[in-house]
Amino acid sequence: MKYMLLLYVPPEGRDHPDAAGMEAWFGYTRALQEAGVLVAGDALQGLEAATTVRVRGGETLVADGPFAETKEMLGGYYLIDVPDLDAALAWAAKVPNAPYGSVEVRPLMELPAEVPA
């Protein structure tokens, strides 16, 4: 089953990691690849690059910034394919930002392969 690991960090923790910090991320990504569970993953640009779009009453509203103000920001994600939630939680506990941020684990909805006409 596929799970999204949503990586949240405090804004002050968003600083670019040094070489040792980056090696932790590269090592984690390599471990996912070697285990054959990595489907996708990316880091996101900072809050200043976010734009939120809403449509209300047929009008499109565009605002700078993230959808909700929180103490943490979404910094990236991994999409993994593992047998069950326990396996997803085990991988989430190893994400390098887990000690200073948080990792939300959310299963993907299983939708039909074909969209109804």
Stretch 55-68: mean pLDDT: 84
Q: pLDDT per residue over 67-114, tens digit each?
A: 766 678 888 999 999 999 999 999 999 999 888 888 999 999 888 888
Stretch 61-70: mean pLDDT: 76
pTM of the model: 0.81
Contact predicate 53/61, CB 8 Å: yes
Q: How many CB atoms lie within 10 A of CB 2?
A: 16
Name the fold adopted by 2-107. Alpha-Beta Plaits (3.30.70)
Domain ranges of the chain: 2-107
Interatomic CA distance for residues 41 and 6, integer angstroms: 10
